[in-house]
Structure 1
Amino acid sequence: MPRLENTIDIKVPVNIAYNQWTQFETFPNFMSSVLQVKQLDDSHVWWQVEIGGHAIEWETEIIEQVPDDHIAWRSVSGPRHLGLVSFKHVDIHATRVHVEIEYEADMKAEVSATMTGLLEQKISEALTCYRQLLESRKRPAGGWRGRIAVGTDNAVRH
């Protein structure tokens, strides 16, 4: 499976960067290709995005979530992929956000390479917009501090 990675430093404390990321329904505010997101429950999220002029939708399951550290997910419908976003304390006023996404490429190699380049660009643009959003506000739109453990079906609220 092709793997995409991108990292960005944001001038906000780690809890602010993490809390904003947990507000999935706000993703269209900083991800131009995301049309709509619905949080179905603590660990399931429905996505609708536009790629190449086509609306595509899928559902993801959060398989692990540790506040101020990371969120891991996998698709349960639609295009097969899995991902991880991690949040690392740089200093009291800065956080390093790292995104990793692996996806199944079920297309010809040349189309897959073009798609990978497009996705890399979209992720880079989204992270830049995410940084601008947070650095201009200095606070998240909310936050979910629950924990989801690997191999469980239940989210644990803290």
Structure 2
Amino acid sequence: MSASLVETVDIQAPVSVTWALWSDVTRWPSFLSHVRLVEPLDERRFAWQLSLPGADKNFVAELAEVIPEERIAWHTVEGVHHAGVVTFHHLSDTSSRVTLQIEYDPKGFVERLGALTNLDSALANYDLGEFQKLAETAASA
């Protein structure tokens, strides 16, 4: 059984800014609260370290699709099963919409509990809020 979540945030920053921040995977730990480290292995693969309540997880994810200023998709090739896509939508010259969609295999009690209580959704919401602050600060700089 796989679980999925979709979260969307509107940001007062142009797509060029939101894309530039998100496409630099080494910055993900600064706005994704459960991501401790993302380390490039080569052009397409990245080693992740996640810090979750009661469990630390490591996995290797591969970029499946990158369309500049439109979408970034990835899936794991080692470790915990997980796939995601982030899409960027132009709302106006000064605003954009970012949608995060993640599918994962809720193995183990902690993850199942999270999926059942919508903890994952709350976390994704919080992370997108952090990203929004980062992007809006960058856009106004």
TM-score, normalization: structure 2?
0.90
Q: Which runs of 4+ in 1 moved over 3 A?
A: none
Alignment of 1:98-137 (within 5 A): 98-107=99-108, 112=112, 114-116=113-115, 117-137=118-138
- Give the whole-Å Cα distance in 1 for the aligned partners of 2:111 and 2:57: 17
Q: Percent identity?
A: 28
How many Å separate the matches in 1 of 2:78 and 2:140? Answer: 33
Q: Deviations over 1:55-114 (max 9, x none)?
A: 211110011110000011111111101111000001111110001111112346x961x2
The one-letter code sitting in structure 2 at the alignment partner of 1:11 is Q
Q: Is the 8 A contact 1:34 1:49 kept in 2?
A: yes
Q: What SS class does the counterpart of residue 21 from structure 2 fall into?
A: helix
Match of residue 7 from structure 1: 8
Give me the whole-angstrom Cα distance separating, in 1, the residues matched to 2:77 and 2:124.
21
For the residue of structure 1 that corresponds to 2:80, the secondary structure is coil
Summarize the Cα distance change of 1:111–1:67 in structure 2 as closer, same or farther, 3 Å threshold: closer
Residue 121 of structure 1 and its aligned partner are, at CA, apart by: 1.5
Aligned match of 2:77: 76
**Structure with the larger helix share:** 2
Unaligned segments of structure 1, at least 5 residues = 141-158
Checking the alignment, whether the CA contact within 8 Å between 2:17 and 2:138 is kept in structure 1 is no
- 1:2-55 deviation digits (Å, cap 9, x = unpaired): 110000011111111111101111112112221111122221111101111322
Q: Residue 76 of structure 1: SS of its match in structure 2?
A: strand
Report if aligned partners of 1:33, 1:50 keep a CA contact under 8 Å in 2.
yes
